[in-house]
Amino acid sequence: MQITSDPWLPVLDRPTPNPVVQGLENFTVSSLFQANNRSWDVDVVQDLFSPEDAALILGIPLIASAIDDSWYWVAEKNGFYSVRSAYNMLHSMKFTPDFSPSNGLWKILWSLKVPPKAKDLVWRATSNCLATKSNLCIKKVLTENLCPFCGIFAETECHLFVSCNFAWACWNYAGLATTSRDATSLQLWLLDTFQLVRTVKDVVSFATASLDQWLKAQGKGNIPLLSPLKDGDGLELCVKPVSGIKLNVDAAIFEHSSKHGFDCVVRNTVGELVAAFAGLKFGRVSPELAEIMGVREALSWLKNHAHSHAIVKTDSLVCAGAVRSAEVFASAFGPVVEDCKTLLHTSMFILNAPASGGFHGTGSGTCVAGCDGAMVATTKRGDGEEAIISSINNLSISLEDNDELGKDVIERSVVVRLITKKAIFLGLLRAVLARKWRLAKGWKLEEVAANTFIICFSKRHEAELNVTNAPWRVCDGFMIVKPIPEDGQWRSVDFSISQVWVKVYELPPRFWTTKNATAIVERIGSEASIDQMWKNSFPTQ
């Protein structure tokens, strides 16, 4: 990527450095890195570019792992082009905000309870779009522009509706001639009219509504109806972790010096300070980018220190949602999110908890969560130092271990793999299984990977029964059902198809022929759906 010719700065109005530094025409952006280190050479950048450009350049995050350069659309947060963002960008570049008094006129006009054709007539008249004689003369349609009523003045919109004697007589007869006839335009005349015809009821209603809004803004219950937060959210300052350590991460932006930084405080189970570290970097970044870079630094610290259990908390809902979701970000925000996911090795499934809410550990590192809330990352380190995380929404809460509850949840849960060539909708699969297995209410089905699901039954014997009678013929597919290991690591379950066929037929693969299948069915004396499944899955030999 060339320094002087390619649009690589993350701004809309100036995507290349300005002014252009002589001598850099044939250099790439990578020449601004430190030698043998994938990071910006701060001194070189600040010497070559203006302070504003240097702040933008140093704010671009660099990933330790070498990846190919790629373009992204800076007008969208996720980095992908959209027609909406391009339209908004062009609109903001072409037009400047209009703060003239006519803005209030349009709001009043479109809120009037009158027929739409009346609103359209007034709008066209105030915009000088009516086919008056004056406008027709401008378009070379007519040669004479005198008013047909008075025959003295030119027929303009203002004359036709206000200053003409005939029009003014109509206003007098209707009792609406309360303003002057000397307005220079129809827009100004309407503004004066709307201001004067305001009734006492309108004034009192507006004052009451304003007072009510002010009282709500000052009250404690000022939470939007569509907000996922509840009263009391965000009030926690410091809660001791039940086990292991807790890392609280926050970020800050210093606009005046074009810097950004983060800080992290680590506490143990008794609330004592274990460690505290912070960092300050040059560069102008967005708030969400500063937050996610702080989370990455905290996870990097956690990777380099041996702890059996840890909780990472941040107050950024955007970062929590990005790490939690599978959405891909093409912008500079995306590679940092991927770094966090790599450090975390996400491996959790989420179920609904009882009405009381809360989190409960389910044994060795697997967590069952059922609460709304801030990013809560629960990590568990084994011999391979792998981290397990679950990111919930935006609520600061503590975790408590409950081995009995964890064991019960695992014993009531199974992991299934559906082998099919058809696309299966989660709602359809849920309905089919509920009918086929005659399940009691309260069971849960969650998709954790492609065609892989975790099912938590309301009763333990349902899980045991479905594992014993597996495999199953479901939705023109082949469903393998396996129990979840005691450590909760469902990814370690072996879904080898050959093992399943040997289990079903107790024969090695060389005996899987249609002739042998027919003989087995006749021998057991019943027509099974397995036979049809066999024919669909394997060629006739």
Residue-wise pLDDT tens digits, 25-74: 778 888 888 877 788 888 888 888 888 888 888 888 887 765 677 888 88
Task: Say whether both 249 and 194 belong to one domain.
Answer: no
Residues 341 and 288 in one domain: yes
Number of independent structural domains in the chain: 3
In-domain check, residue 49? no
Instruction: Compute CA distances 123 → 114, 116, 166, 381, whole Å.
Output: 13, 10, 22, 68
Q: Are 264 and 249 in contact (CB under 8 A)?
A: yes
**Dihedral (Cα; 281, 284, 289, 290), 10-degree rounding:** 40
Report the CATH number at residue 346: 3.30.420.10
Within-domain flag for 316? yes
Examine the domain organization and report whether 345 and 445 are in the same domain.
Answer: no
- 189 and 266 share a domain? no
247 and 264 Cβ atoms separated by less than 8 Å: yes
Which residue range is the domain that position 156 belongs to? 101-200
Q: Is residue 440 part of a domain?
A: yes
- Where residue 474 sits, what CATH number does that domain have? 3.30.70.330
| Best CA proximity match to 228, nearest among 390, 376, 374 | 374
Q: Which range among 63-77, 335-349, 407-421 has the greatest average pLDDT?
A: 407-421
Same domain membership, residue 269 and residue 175: no
HSE, side-chain direction, 13 A CA sphere, residue 86: 5
Ranges 201-215, 375-389, 498-512, 519-533, most confident: 201-215
Is 383 a domain residue? no
- My answer on whether 341 and 434 are in the same domain is no
* Kind plus residue range of the DSSP H or E element containing 265: strand 259-267
Maximum average pLDDT range among 199-208, 370-379, 489-498: 489-498
> Does the model's pTM come out above 0.75?
no
Reported as a single tens digit per residue, the pLDDT across 268-290 is: 888 888 899 998 888 888 888 89
Percent of the chain surpassing pLDDT 90: 2
Is residue 46 assigned to a domain?
A: no
